[in-house]
Amino acid sequence: MSAQATLEAAFRDAAARLQPGTAGLPRSADVLRSWLVIHRVRKHLSWLEAAEQLVDAAEPTPAWLAVLCDGWVVRASGGFRGAAEALLPRLPDSPDAVAALLRYWRITGRPDAFDRARALVPTAPTTPDEAAANYALWCATADVEQRRLATDALDGLSFADLPFRHWAMLADLRDLPRGPQDAADAVATRPLSDAADAAARVQPLAALTLPVLQVEVRWWLESELQEGPMSEAATFAWPAVRLRFARLTVRDQIRFGAHLDGDDRGELEDAGVVGPWMESLVEELDLGGLIGEVQRRRRSPSRMRRR
Q: What is the mean pLDDT of residues 180-200?
A: 97
Closest CA to 121 of 154, 163, 155, 93: 93
Paired strand residues for 217: 245, 256
Q: What is the mean pLDDT of residues 27-31?
A: 98
pLDDT of 202 above 80: yes
Provide the pLDDT for residue 77: 73
Q: What is the mean pLDDT of residues 239-248?
A: 97
Provide the pLDDT for residue 301: 41
Distances (CA, A) of 75 to 3, 54, 59, 216: 33, 14, 20, 26
Instruction: Tell me the per-residue pLDDT of 248-258, one tens digit each, with 9 for 90 and over.
Output: 999 999 999 99
Closest CA to 66 of 32, 99, 106, 26: 99
CB neighbour list of residue 289: distance below 8 Å, 6 or more residues apart: 4, 5, 8, 209
Provide the pLDDT for residue 289: 85
Closest CA to 184 of 200, 201, 197, 196: 201
Task: State the chain's mean pLDDT as an integer.
Answer: 94
Which ranges of 55-143 does DSSP label H, i.e. alpha helix?
62-74, 80-87, 98-108, 111-120, 128-141
Distance CA(136)–CA(143), nearest Å, equals: 10
Q: Are 239 and 37 in contact (CB under 8 A)?
A: yes
Instruction: Tell me the per-residue pLDDT of 30-60, one tens digit each, with 9 for 90 and over.
Output: 999 999 999 999 989 999 999 999 999 999 9
pLDDT of 238 above 70: yes
Helix pair 144-153, 128-141: axis angle to 10 deg: 160
Provide the pLDDT for residue 293: 54
Provide the pLDDT for residue 78: 75
Q: What is the mean pLDDT of residues 236-257?
A: 96
Q: Which pLDDT band, with edges at 50, 70 and 90, does 284 fall under?
A: confident
Report percent pLDDT > 90 for the chain.
90
Provide the pLDDT for residue 297: 43
Give the number of other CB atoms < 10 A from CB of residue 42.
17
Q: What is the mean pLDDT of residues 185-204?
A: 97
Distance CA(259)–CA(268), nearest Å, equals: 12
Distance CA(182)–CA(158), nearest Å, equals: 7
pLDDT of 144 above 60: yes
Q: What is the mean pLDDT of residues 57-67?
A: 98
CA atoms within 13 A on the CB side of 208: 34
Q: What is the mean pLDDT of residues 287-300?
A: 61
Distance CA(216)–CA(219), nearest Å, equals: 10
Q: Are 183 and 208 in contact (CB under 8 A)?
A: yes
